[in-house]
């Protein structure tokens, strides 16, 4: 009895903790974003003053605010990557191989940002600040592709969970229709078979769409920001279309269930 | 030969009219008396014509509106004979546990798919202004 209850007890105890991790990470990310907005506003004011007056005081203020903004920017990006990491841990639809791949991307980017933060601390002039910022700018395409691949992977993982439930329901429906083949009149039986075929077709269309989106997700790597924007938008559209196929299929399953309920 | 007393000569001169002595002012011809029929003034004739035209207009308008305000012809639509709703007999599966489980799973699946958000806002990456703009 205990060996049946133990997994249930563990799930009840730890599932809230797991989901609380991404909720906590999201709150931290929002907080870091608020701090970043404040520091960015201060940086802009100081920069404009320096560019206008070019005094030593304005230069010193601009340098201080620039360093603070750049440090906070790195902190914000790190918080966002940690949020993605928590979301990956919670997603039941991603395979272990995929999860490891995405988490490797995240680890690499977190390591880059930590190194970049150390460079920001050692900035001594506005020229240093500009050069250090350019390091991040030149790396940003890789950072962005890692983030977007992870987001795409999470979305496809969510769809995969829904598709698994769909497959279970479809298998149950097929078993029910096959087992009780002699109960219904021939015309009714033909109707039930057509519904099953319709549901299987839409499931196949869903799978084709998801396979295409996985291909797009792989192509995000090694592209510039503009191409990433286009591919990422295409992936989001494709995820929406795949969801619609599942929704249509569940509707047909409902029709099949209603047909099975009645003799005529 | 001339016939006695058959014709009189054409150029017989008329007998002269004795000239009577006339009274002074007797040459003026007295004016003719005014005709006894009374004449209607033109303004009155115009007024009568206008009134007659107005009356004709009112009568014609009344007549036309009477024509238009005829009650509409009501066409009665035939009421359909209500047919009884066909009763559907439940199948032998309706009470089976496998069917009930399928029904519950189907409803749960529909709800999950409907609730799935394609574009999760919590996953949107931060939009950052990267170049500093000093140089």
Query: Measured in whole angstroms, how far is the alpha carbon of residue B62 from the centre of its chain?
Result: 13
pLDDT at B80: 78
pLDDT at A75: 98
B2, pLDDT greater than 50: no
Subunit contact B93:A80, Cβ cutoff 8 A: no
- Least reliable range by pLDDT among A2-11, A120-129, A148-157, B23-32: A2-11
Which range of A108-117, A223-232, B82-91 scores highest in mean pLDDT? It is A108-117
Structure token digits, residue B27: 């040459």
| A250–B113 CB contact, under 8 Å | yes
Question: For position B77, what pLDDT does the model report?
Answer: 80
Domain range for B48 is: 41-69
User: At B13, is the pLDDT very low, low, confident or very high (cuts 50, 70, 90)?
Assistant: low
The 3-state DSSP composition of chain A as helix, strand, coil percent (nearest 5) reads 90, 0, 10
Q: Is B94 on the interface with A (CB under 8 A)?
A: yes
Residue range A71-98, pLDDT digits in tens: 999 999 999 999 999 999 999 999 999 9
Mind telling me how many Å the CA of A5 is from chain B's nearest CA? 23
Q: What number is the average pLDDT over the span B102-107?
A: 96
- For the cut 50, the answer to whether the pLDDT of residue B14 exceeds it is yes
Does residue A21 register a pLDDT over 60? Answer: yes
Q: Does A25 touch chain B (CB under 8 A)?
A: no
For residue range A173-192, what is the model confidence (pLDDT) as tens digits?
999 999 998 889 999 999 99
Range of weakest confidence among A104-113, A141-150, B13-22, B98-107:
B13-22
Structural domain includes residue B53: yes
A104 pLDDT higher than 50: yes
- Which of left, alpha, beta for B8 (phi over 0: left; psi -120 to 50: alpha)? beta
Which residues, other chains included, contact A163 with Cβ-Cβ below 8 Å and sequence gap of 6+? Answer: A203, A206, A207, A210, A246
Is there a contact between A236 and B133 if contact means CB atoms under 8 Å apart?
no
pLDDT at residue B78, as a whole number = 76
SS3 call for A62: helix
Number of A–B residue contacts, CB under 8 Å: 125
State chain A's maximal CA–CA distance in angstroms: 93
**Contact, A88 vs A102, CB < 8 A?**
yes
pLDDT at B117 over 90: yes
Supply the pLDDT for residue B73. Answer: 76
Residue A120 CA to residue A106 CA, distance in Å, equals: 21
Residues in chain A: 264
Indicate whether B81 pLDDT > 50: yes
CA distance B94 to chain A (A): 5
Is the pLDDT at B28 greater than 80, yes or no?
no
Q: How far is A213 from chain B (nearest CA, A)?
A: 13
Least confident of A4-18, A20-34, A121-135, B56-70: A4-18
How would you classify residue A147: left for phi > 0, otherwise alpha for psi between -120 and 50, otherwise beta? Answer: alpha
Looking at chain B, the whole-number percentage of residues with pLDDT higher than 90 is 41
- CA dist B131 and B135 (Å) reads 10
A253:B109 CB<8 A: yes
> Which stretch of DSSP H or E encloses residue A98?
helix A96-121
Cβ of residue A222 closer than 8 Å to a chain B Cβ: no
Q: How far apart are the first and last CA of chain A?
A: 45
What's the domain count of chain B?
1
With CA atoms as reference, the chain A residue closest to B86 would be A264
Instruction: With beta carbons less than 8 A apart as the criterion, state whether A162 and B108 touch.
Output: no
Selecting from B94, B113, B131 the residue whose C-beta is nearest the C-beta of A133 gives: B131
In the structure, what pLDDT confidence band is assigned to residue B86 with cuts at 50, 70 and 90? confident
Interchain contact, B105 vs A133, CB within 8 Å: no
Report whether pLDDT(A6) > 60. no
Check if B98 contacts A (Cβ < 8 Å): yes
Residue range A199-218, pLDDT digits in tens: 999 999 999 999 999 999 99
The tens digit of pLDDT for each residue in A49-77 reads 999 999 999 999 999 999 999 999 999 99
Q: Is the pLDDT of residue A237 over 70?
A: yes
pLDDT at position B15, please? Answer: 57
- ipTM of this model? 0.83
- More confidently predicted of A184 and A12: A184
The confidence score (pLDDT) of residue A58 equals 96
CB atoms within 10 A of CB A129: 21
CA of B119 to nearest chain A CA: how many angstroms apart? 7
B104 CB near a chain A CB, below 8 Å? no
Q: For residue B54, is it within any domain?
A: yes
Q: Where are the domains of chain A?
A: 2-147, 159-261
User: Which of A:38-67 have CB within 8 Å of B?
Assistant: 40, 47, 50-51, 62, 66
CA distances from B48 to A63, B37, B41, B58 (A): 105, 20, 11, 15
Residue A38 has pLDDT above 60, yes or no: yes
pLDDT at residue B123 in the model: 93
């Amino acid at each position: 009895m205990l060996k049946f209850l133990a997994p249930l007890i563990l799930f009840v105890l730890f599932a809230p903790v797991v989901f609380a991790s991404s909720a906590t990470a999201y709150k931290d990310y929002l907080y870091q974003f608020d701090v970043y907005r404040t520091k960015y506003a201060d940086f802009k004011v100081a920069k404009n003053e320096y560019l206008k007056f070019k005094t030593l005081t304005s230069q010193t203020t601009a340098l201080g605010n620039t360093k603070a903004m750049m440090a906070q920017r790195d902190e914000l990006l790190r918080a966002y990557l940690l949020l993605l990491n928590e979301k990956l841990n919670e997603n039941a639809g991603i395979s272990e191989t995929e999860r490891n791949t995405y988490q490797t991307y995240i680890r690499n980017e977190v390591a880059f940002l930590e190194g970049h933060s150390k460079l920001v601390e050692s900035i001594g002039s506005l020229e240093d600040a500009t050069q250090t910022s350019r390091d991040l700018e030149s790396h940003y395409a890789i950072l962005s592709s890692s983030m977007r691949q992870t987001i795409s992977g999470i979305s496809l993982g969510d769809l995969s969970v829904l598709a698994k439930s769909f497959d279970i329901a479809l298998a149950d429906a097929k078993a029910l229709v096959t087992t009780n083949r002699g109960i219904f009149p021939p015309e009714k039986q033909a109707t039930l078979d057509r519904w099953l075929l319709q549901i299987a077709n839409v499931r196949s269309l869903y799978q084709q769409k998801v396979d295409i989106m996985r291909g797009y997700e792989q192509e995000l790597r090694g592209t510039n920001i503009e191409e990433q924007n286009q591919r990422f938008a295409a992936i989001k559209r494709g995820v929406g279309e795949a969801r619609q196929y599942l929704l249509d299929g569940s509707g047909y399953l409902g029709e099949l269930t209603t047909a099975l309920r009645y003799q005529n | 030969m001339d016939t006695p007393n058959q014709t009189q000569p054409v150029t017989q001169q008329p007998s002269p009219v004795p000239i009577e002595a006339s009274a002074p002012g007797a040459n003026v011809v007295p004016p003719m008396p005014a005709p006894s029929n009374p004449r209607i003034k033109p303004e009155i004739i115009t007024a009568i014509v206008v009134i007659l035209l107005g009356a004709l207009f009112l009568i014609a308008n009344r007549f036309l509106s009477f024509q238009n305000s005829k009650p509409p012809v009501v066409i009665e639509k035939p009421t359909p004979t209500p047919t009884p709703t066909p009763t559907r007999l439940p199948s032998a599966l309706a009470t089976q546990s496998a069917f009930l489980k399928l029904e519950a799973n189907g409803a749960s699946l529909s709800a999950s798919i409907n609730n799935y958000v394609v574009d999760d806002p919590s996953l949107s990456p931060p939009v950052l202004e990267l170049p500093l703009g000093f140089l």
